[in-house]
Amino acid sequence: MAAALRARVQAGEWPPGTALPSEQALAVQHGVAMATLRRALELLASQGLLERIHGRGTFVRAAMTGAPMLRFFRFGDGSGEVPASRIVSRRKTAASAEVAQRLGIARGEPVLHLLRVRSLGGRPRLLEEIHLPLPLFQALAETPAAEWDDLFYPMYAQRCGVHVQRATDEIGFGTLAAAQAAHLGLPAGHPCARVERRAYDLAGRCVEARTTFGDAHAFHYAVTIT
């Protein structure tokens, strides 16, 4: 039952953020008992595909519009400014073993490789290396970089039909290579925080492998434990 509902979501019958039909209607459509249907809905909710809101119904979880890397850093006055985005380079390449492993594809498959600098107040703050599988993101490979949006996830949805539903971030620390440091206006060997992200679509495919570098001296992360 859960597999059948997931297939309908992945087929685009219910776009992200929309409500599913009533439980009674779904049970009739699939010819199952209400208890069976509810177990399937609960399973998909626990997996993050659906969201059950008391008194309102069940919804396909809305696509992510962003998960700001700036939450890991403290720059400036914390005004909430959206960082400007500049594409330093864009090229098609073959996935290395590491990139292939992160994206869940075969080594050598085509990917779009991006190098992006994000700035606040005109100052470069983050350097991002991004790999996107092709041909899924072919539209971006053909769109002039000057026409890209500062926020990528809404752009993925609008231009490529790829809805990022969830992402995982892993944080580590190291030092900047000379070329990396130059993009951030820092000296070679400067300490950096490194955030490795994998972003997933509604089907559970990894659709983005991103590595973000920032000044380790500005690293700041807080979490509330209850």
pLDDT digits (tens, 9 = 90+) for 183-222: 999 999 999 999 999 999 888 889 999 999 999 999 988 8
Which residues in the chain show pLDDT less than 70?
62-67, 76-80
Structural domains in the chain, sorted by start: 2-60 (1.10.10.10), 69-218 (3.40.1410.10)
Q: Residue by residue, what is the 3-state secondary structure of the chain?
A: CHHHHHHHHHCCCCCCCCECCCHHHHHHHHCCCHHHHHHHHHHHHHCCCEEEECCCEEEECCCCCCCCHHHHECCCCCCCCCCEEEEEEEEEEECCHHHHHHHCCCCCCEEEEEEEEEEECCEEEEEEEEEEECCCCHHHHHCCHHHCCCCHHHHHHHHHCCCEEEEEEEEEEEECCHHHHHHHCCCCCCEEEEEEEEEEECCCCEEEEEEEEEEHHHECCCCCCC
Give dist(CA 132, CA 110) in Å, integer. 9
Supply the pLDDT for residue 108: 97
Give dist(CA 67, CA 166) in Å, integer. 9
User: What is the DSSP pairing of strand 57-60 with strand 50-53?
Assistant: antiparallel
* pTM of the entire predicted model: 0.79
Supply the pLDDT for residue 184: 96
List the beta bridge partners of residue 152.
none
